[in-house]
């Protein structure tokens, strides 16, 4: 936890990191707007716990994109510049998948799977990054891949 706090403090003083973090706010808002629409859609279809999709979709993204060695209250605060850019792209992918699924009038569970499959495909192309190794700064620049 001490190392995570050091990394967070370091990130907040890094102008490039702050710029990329700020640029990620807009795609995240677009994604959350899409999630809100998706929650309404899922609720209309009978979902009893649709409000959990904000958390479920974020966890799904993180699971596909990163190998996280520790638990963090807000993973985005400890990500490097390259990972923040990856998350920004994944946010766009999720928003598009949700909107596409709603437009196609798919069942809400199939829409979640569509979003997950698209992020998984993106992660396979991009490679997973290891998060939690402060000593090895190359992990934020060069994604590691996980063999299945």
- pLDDT number for residue 18: 77
105 within a domain of the structure (yes/no): yes
- pLDDT number for residue 118: 98
Asked if 128 and 68 count as a contact pair (C-beta separation under 8 A), the reply is no
Sign, CA dihedral 107-112-117-122, equals positive
The count of domains in the chain is 1
93 within a domain of the structure (yes/no): yes
146 within a domain of the structure (yes/no): no
41 within a domain of the structure (yes/no): yes
Q: Residue 57 has which token pair?
A: 């979709």
pLDDT (tens, 9 = 90+) of the chain, 148 residues, equals: 555 555 666 666 677 777 777 777 888 888 899 999 999 999 999 999 999 999 999 999 999 999 987 787 788 878 888 888 899 999 999 999 999 999 999 999 999 999 999 999 999 999 998 887 543 444 444 444 444 4
148 within a domain of the structure (yes/no): no
Residue-range definition of the domain harbouring residue 31: 2-140
20 within a domain of the structure (yes/no): yes
- pLDDT number for residue 147: 44
Closest CA to 45 of 112, 140, 120: 112
114 within a domain of the structure (yes/no): yes
**The pTM is what?**
0.76
């Amino acid at each position: 936890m001490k190392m995570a706090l050091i990394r967070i403090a370091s990130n907040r003083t890094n102008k490039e990191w702050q710029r990329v973090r700020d640029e990620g706010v807009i795609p995240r808002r677009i994604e959350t707007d899409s999630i809100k629409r998706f929650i309404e859609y899922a609720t209309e279809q009978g979902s009893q716990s649709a409000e959990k999709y904000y958390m479920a979709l974020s966890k799904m993204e993180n699971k596909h994109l990163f190998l996280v060695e520790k638990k963090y209250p807000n993973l985005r605060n400890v990500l490097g510049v390259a990972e923040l850019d990856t998350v920004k792209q994944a946010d766009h992918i999720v928003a598009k998948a949700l909107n596409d699924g709603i437009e196609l009038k798919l069942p809400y569970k199939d829409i979640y799977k569509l979003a997950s499959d698209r992020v998984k495909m993106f992660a396979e192309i991009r490679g997973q990054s290891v998060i939690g190794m402060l000593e090895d700064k190359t992990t934020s620049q060069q994604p590691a891949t996980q063999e299945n």
